[in-house]
Amino acid sequence: MSETDFGDYEGKKVKLITLTNSNGMRAELISYGATLKSLIVKDKYGIDRDVVLGYNQINGFINDDVFMGATVGRVCNRIAYASFELDDKKYHLPANNGKHHLHGGGCLSKRVWEVYEIRQCVGMQSVKFTTVSRDGEFGYPSDVRFEVTFEMNDYNKLNVLLEAFSLSDTNTIVNLTIHPYFNLDPQASADVLDHELSIKANTYLPVDETALVTGMALYNLLNNFRRIPFKGDSAYNSVWPSWPPYLAVLGVHCMYTILFENVSFSGEICSLNGDLKKLREGVCLKELKTTAAIDIDNDFILDCKPGEEALRFCEICSLNGDLKKLREGVCLNELKTTAAIDIDNDFILDCKPGDEALRLRSERSGIILAVSTSYPIIHLYLAQHFNNVNGKIAQPYGKYAGIAIEAQKHSNAINIVSDLLLCSEYYGKWLLYENQAWK
C-alpha cells in the first residue's frame, strides 16, 4: 500500500492511493472524484494488465466528460428534464445531458474528497474517501455526508461500499455508483466487442432516443411523497413538456400492479383467480390480454389505505431474441450487430445480493471479471459515444473502447418510484469486483 501526490485541483492536493494483494493485483485510486484510476491484474500469461480505462495525469480527469472511473451522484444516471418533486417542492438541477440531468452533474465526481482512513491488516488493505455536499449544491436539498470505501483482499476481490448520511432535517434523494469502463484486453486493442458478457437478468428497461428510461409510475394522487401531474394539470407541461398522455405511451409492454380489497357489496364480486391473480404482484399487459378470461373493462376494488400507492405502470422489456443470450453469455460483437438495442440500459437483476450478478471475460487475455452487488439494477453502457478520448495509452479511446458496469437503483427513479434518503437516515450499498482464474 502506498500514498503519493497526484497533482492539484482548486488549491487542494489530489492523493493517489495504491492497494495491493499477495497475488499482484493492484488498484490505484485518486481522491479527485473518489475515482478508480487503474485496476491491474495478471492475464493468462502472467503479464500485468490494466483493465480500467482512464488517464495518466490529473488534467485528464479534470477535463473528462465521460465520468471515467469516478464516484457519481448525488444521483447517478439520468433525471428526466433535470427536475424532480419532493415533499411538495419542485427542485431544478443543471441539465448537462441535453434536457436531462446526468450523474449528479458532477456534484461528486468533480471535487477532491478527503482521504479519511487508510487501513491495512493481514490479507486486506482499504481506503475510505469522504466528502460533504451542502444543501442547494447542484440543486439538491439537504446536507449529506458521502463515504466511499475501497477494500482489496488476497482473494482477488475489490469491494466498494457506497454510503450516505443525512446531516439535516430535510429529505433528499440518493443513488450512488462508481463508473469504471472495463477492457480486459491490452488497452491498445480497439474495443471490447470480443468480450463475452453474461448477466443474471431476464428483463431490462428500454430507453428513448435521449437514453432516458421510458417507464414511469402512476401513483394515487394522495401519495404523501409527490403528486404526478396528468395532462390538463397546470404542472403537466413543465414536467413532461413533450410527452403524450400517460396511457398512450405505455403500450402493452408494461408491468401492471394493483392492490385490491373485498368489501360489502350487493352485486356480484369475482376473485382474482387464474391469470388475473398475477395483477397483485405485477403482470405484463400483453400477457394479460392474451391469456385472461376477460377483456378488461372493469372496476377493481382497492385494499390499500387512502394515500398509499394503488397502481403502478412501468415499461419493462424481456430479454428475448438475441438479448436472451445475455443470460448464458454472449459475445458483445454478436450482441451489438444483432440485438434491437445499442446498449445503454438498466438490467433488472434476479439474483440474491452477494451472488454473482454479472461476468465479463476475454478469451484473448484469459481475464474474468465477476460482479456482485446489493443493488437491484446493473446499468450497462458500451461507450458507443466515445470519440477519440485521449486516455492512458497513445491510441485514443474510440467507439466501444470499454464497457461501463454501473450497479445502481433505477435510472430516473425519483420520477418513477420513491428514491428517498429521509432526514437522519443512512444509505449504504456495496458492489464487488472479482478477478477470477480463466476456466
User: What is the predicted pLDDT for the residue at 155?
Assistant: 93
Picking from 360, 350, 373, the residue whose alpha carbon sits closest to that of residue 159 is 373
- φ, ψ for residue 274, nearest 5 deg: 60, -135
User: What is the predicted pLDDT for the residue at 13?
Assistant: 97
Report the run of H or E that residue 357 belongs to, with start and end: strand 356-361
Amino acid at 417: V
Q: How far apart, in Å, are the Cα atoms of 160 and each of 29, 429, 430?
A: 12, 8, 6
In 98-176, which ranges are continuous DSSP H helix? none
> Per-residue pLDDT tens for 290-349?
554 555 555 555 656 555 555 544 566 767 766 777 888 888 887 776 665 678 888 888
Greatest CA span in the chain, whole angstroms? 79
Instruction: Give the start-to-end residue ranges of the domains of the chain.
Output: 2-217+314-436
358's CB contacts (< 8 A; 6+ apart) are 197, 198, 199, 200, 370, 371, 378, 405
Amino acid at 367: I
Report the CATH fold assignment for 2-217+314-436. Answer: Beta-galactosidase; Chain A, domain 5 (2.70.98)
DSSP annotation of 159 reads E
Cα(243)–Cα(257) distance, integer angstroms = 22
Picking from 393, 46, 438, the residue whose alpha carbon sits closest to that of residue 187 is 393
DSSP annotation of 210 reads T
Asked if 85 contacts 219 with a C-beta cutoff of 8 angstroms, the reply is no
What letters, b where the CB count within 10 A reaches 16 and e where it falls short, cover 253-276? bbbbbbbeeeeeeeeeeeeeeebb
- The mean pLDDT values, 10 residues at a time, for the chain of 439 residues are 95 97 96 97 93 95 96 93 90 94 95 96 95 96 95 95 91 93 81 90 81 54 28 35 27 32 42 56 53 53 55 61 78 73 81 88 92 91 88 86 91 70 74 74
Report the run of H or E that residue 345 belongs to, with start and end: strand 344-349
What would the grid cell of residue 195 be? 468480450
Q: Is 94 strand, coil or helix?
A: coil
